[in-house]
Chain A
């Protein structure tokens, strides 16, 4: 456990906008991502995937494929141990190894279009692909279920006959696709609704969307004859990948060394193993390195999208705008195995408001789709779409400004949440006030245009974090980090914190990641934790190094330790100390290190506590084409309390990128399944992510209410900006056309349908 208090002091580097230290490699093509790694003699691995949504596997015959010249090994379910129920934290969500092993390689059944069945290693991609076509699988096709509401019905086809709903008492007597029920209650909602004078009640639906990282999953494994394994993979958490691989392959953690490659986007989707254990076992069987790179189609069919959700919201308020009761039911698709983000969504649903009476129920539901993975503020945007749409409608019914209604009910320091803790110092009110004061909020609108506002909350997280800070012999600093540079700018920010602590120029600090043998365990780089938690670790490590530097100077100058203070990158006589001596710079101390006790370093192994919640408020203007139903986003402003922006340009980048992903989610992106349960749009042509011409400028306002439990006041910033856009856009479209839209994405056919229906009355 570790926590350090916020220090309000003048800073020289933190808060400025220097060039990122790892930038040049990324603009020159020198940076090496997953697919850029190769080893001599490597084989190419490819995966055979289910063409059915749901089927029992009667047999798998690999003999023809194995006989193909150039094929070196084939693995199926028989090459992996079955695993019992065994839960572990991975990313922001829990995993169950029983399911992990079944998701990476189907055992009894295939449960979705794209589910892996076998993997081949061959001398070329072409031969591996040819071999896949020679594998004969005998299936017993089973009825499938794609829709979450349909999957919850008692007569729905069951994905897992052993699955009984957890969280319900008494324990159900029949199996169900509802894996788990979450319930959070505070106060008495019936009494709350009895006090209400105005009620809003709505049902909302969203589609699964993919994280959409541009780099497909890629890994390279090498299994040596003594059982030592090296793995290079594009991941948000090399330590978590190591533990998952070691677990499913039943090997010692120490035998597996994972090196993270540069990662071409993750957004929560690269916290889990897919091809990694297959590549390791193929390498074991062939005694050669095996490289596996997914195609874009495989990424869509078999790696985690986030849930589609069905969300029911009911709000009650008095005429003067006090919310007296709030109820939500969240039904989330988990994909083929339990573990949707419905738990975190349930906790986020109303946590922007100070409410006496709340009841939230969340259902985690399995369906015949790929297992969901975390996606930026997992689950929160889906819940916020419902709740923030309902708040908007309530404001309209009350004749109130929607920001005013939110301010009247805003959570603040000391607000009791319905899921557990009281909120500490937070900046929701400041965020709302900044949004209301922004010129965008009062700018005039034209015909067929509408403005929407919505807000978001995310916990932000800490967790296990390590780093090592080595003072080089010339006084420069090698900073070895355990969280990864997934977010664009986190390494810049962490180097800035170290430079600030040591009082040296940023250019003298070089941040790097190492492999899993170079540092102690780190939790995944996710949940907006990297600059918060690694920032804290960097402060611990830097201060440890400073203590050692002071020690060395006390020794060299023959003064007591208390007489030496660290200031402006130098060991100086402490203020008020009678002991005077010539100050020494970091470089001077480093040069003498071998004579004063050896190398100088600081390190940190912490479980970072004290994460401070983040809040955002987004304002959007849209124009609706009444003939086509197309929605054009005209103007966008994102306001967010980040605690403290270490590198404001990259904080803005997080806010802009999150908003853009949310816009795609709201307007275009969706998984489209046919009646046969087959994904119809596994490619960027038909799964339409926003391009530059789809988007306006995304203005940003950084609010800074420092997190009191972080030395630099950091809260985290990556998750919050994706939470509000879906609701903000829905509210804007509703304002433009006068109809409340409750199904996303708000694609042209859906919007046109609403316009036509409204015209018919």
Chain B
């Protein structure tokens, strides 16, 4: 069967790609568009390592078919820093030592960014539930939660 032609934007840039009907958006991001910052930990939507934003909504890209991206805005970890300027969350993750191996970090950062967009003033418990779709095996989450709370505080103070 012929491949599907899909037009979308990735991190603001227009892109086009061809995909099979059954191909996931994660596969296309990694294998076709060479955006390997988005990670695959399970392929079943359980670990959150492949978290991206699709039209402003947090999704597991392993559970989205690539054809569903037609006409949509995709945001990935590669678009989080602006030029030389790291996103505040990226900076806070570094300052708080909130990453160890780092394989969950791209997905965790995307999920945290989405959380703070929806809830700029979360409690610790809201951060924990907001990130409950993202597995981290290294940190025990303690420093990740601290980094997100600190970033939220600084964002609210308008830095």
Contact = CB atoms under 8 A, between A and B. Distances in A.
A473 interface: no
Contact of A653 (B35, B37, B104, B143): B143
A213 to B, nearest CB: 6
Given A26-B99, A28-B78, A698-B142, A214 B94 contact: no
A296 B80 CA distance: 27
Interface stretch (B2-10, B42-50, B65-73): B42-50
B94 A20 contact: yes
A319 interface: no
A693 B94 contact: no
Nearest to A651: B97
B148 to A, nearest CB: 10
A378 B143 CA distance: 26
Contact of B39 (A212, A214, A263): A214
A692 B41 contact: no
Contact of A29 (B78, B86, B141, B144): B78
A19 B94 contact: yes
B28 interface: no
B109 interface: yes
Interface string A175-194: 00000000000000000000
A25 B81 CA distance: 11
A267 interface: yes
A657 B37 contact: no
Contacts of B19: none
Contacts of B36: 29, 32, 35-36
A213 B102 CA distance: 11
Contacts of B136: 214, 692
A695 interface: yes
A435 to B, nearest CB: 18
A656 B97 contact: no
Nearest to A37: B36
Contact of B41 (A27, A296, A691, A698): A296
Contacts of A659: 140
Given A26-B105, A28-B78, A295 B145 contact: no
Given A26-B105, A33-B39, A214 B100 contact: no
A689 B137 contact: yes
Nearest to A492: B97
A295 B27 CA distance: 13
B93 A27 contact: yes
Interface string A653-664: 100111111000
A488 B105 CA distance: 12
A212 B135 CA distance: 10
A649 interface: yes
Interface residues of B, number: 56
A236 to B, nearest CB: 11
Contact of A214 (B76, B109, B135): B135
Nearest to A212: B137
A702 B136 CA distance: 23
B142 to A, nearest CB: 5
The size class of the interface chain A forms with chain B is 35 or more
Interface string B129-141: 1011111111111
Nearest to B95: A19
Contact of B141 (A17, A33, A660): A660
Contacts of A27: 80, 86, 90, 93-94, 99, 102, 105-106, 109
A660 B102 contact: no
Contacts of A488: 97, 99-102, 138-139
A581 to B, nearest CB: 42
A296 B44 contact: yes
Contact of B104 (A35, A214, A649, A693): A214
A652 B98 CA distance: 11
Contacts of A698: 140, 142
B38 interface: yes
A89 interface: no
8 contacts: A20-B97, A23-B99, A29-B76, A214-B136, A264-B101, A690-B140, A692-B129, A692-B144
Interface of A: 17, 19-20, 23-33, 35-36, 126, 211-216, 262-267, 295-296, 486-489, 649-650, 652-653, 656-661, 683-685, 689-695, 697-698
Interface of B: 20, 30, 35-44, 46-47, 49, 76-78, 80-81, 86, 90, 93-97, 99-106, 109, 124-125, 127-129, 131-145
Given A28-B86, A295-B43, 17 more contacts: A17-B97, A19-B95, A23-B99, A28-B37, A35-B39, A214-B135, A264-B103, A296-B42, A650-B100, A652-B97, A652-B142, A652-B143, A653-B138, A657-B140, A684-B46, A684-B47, A695-B140
